[in-house]
């Protein structure tokens, strides 16, 4: 008989739900590649998705000395705020659109100090790998 541990089983979560945000947080906290990202120079990225099935959703990534975590709601003082309409957020999540395309189409907007955060672009590319398992087990409804 095959036995799987609880950590082996993928938990399916609805995109932008509380469970989904918890899974992002668990993945971020467990990531060695993200652990040192904000250790010397902490920063916060807030993400807002507007017009979703359950209304607008905000959450934020905190890159700090203790590692990276994901928290629901708006951040007190984000360094960068990324705002997307729901359709754009879904397309980005599914890999059907990249950030440059979304910015060009107007479906994605940046505010705050994007240059301060974007200088970390190479390190932030790790986010895709860190959250791949969460993305794979996410549903839209």
pLDDT in tens, 129-141: 788 889 899 999 8
Dihedral, CA of residue 52, residue 55, residue 56 and residue 58, to nearest 10: -100
Rounded CA separation 126/88 (Å): 21
pLDDT in tens, 17-59: 999 999 999 999 998 888 888 888 899 999 999 999 999 999 9
Tokens of 140: 């839209």
pLDDT of 121 higher than 80: no
How remote is the C-alpha of 71 from its chain's centroid? 10
Rounded CA separation 22/90 (Å): 18
Contact 51, 86 (CB under 8 A): yes
pLDDT in tens, 73-86: 999 999 999 999 99
Among candidates 23, 6, 4, 7, which has minimal Cα distance to 15?
A: 23
The residues spanned by each domain of the chain are 34-133
pTM, two decimal places: 0.86
Rounded CA separation 47/69 (Å): 13
34-133 carries CATH number 3.90.1150.10 = no
């Amino acid at each position: 008989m095959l036995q799987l541990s609880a950590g082996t089983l993928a938990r399916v979560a609805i995109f932008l739900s509380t469970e989904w945000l918890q899974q992002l947080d668990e993945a971020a906290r467990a990531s060695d590649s993200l652990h040192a990202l904000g250790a010397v120079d902490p920063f916060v990225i807030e993400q807002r998705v507007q017009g979703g099935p359950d209304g607008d959703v905000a959450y934020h990534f905190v890159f700090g000395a203790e590692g990276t975590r994901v928290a629901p709601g708006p951040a007190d003082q984000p360094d960068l705020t990324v705002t997307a309409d729901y359709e754009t957020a879904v397309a980005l999540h599914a890999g059907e659109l990249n950030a440059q395309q979304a910015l060009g189409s107007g479906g994605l907007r940046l505010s705050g100090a994007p240059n301060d955060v974007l200088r970390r672009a190479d390190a932030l590319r790790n986010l895709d790998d860190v959250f791949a398992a969460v993305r794979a087990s996410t549903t839209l409804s």
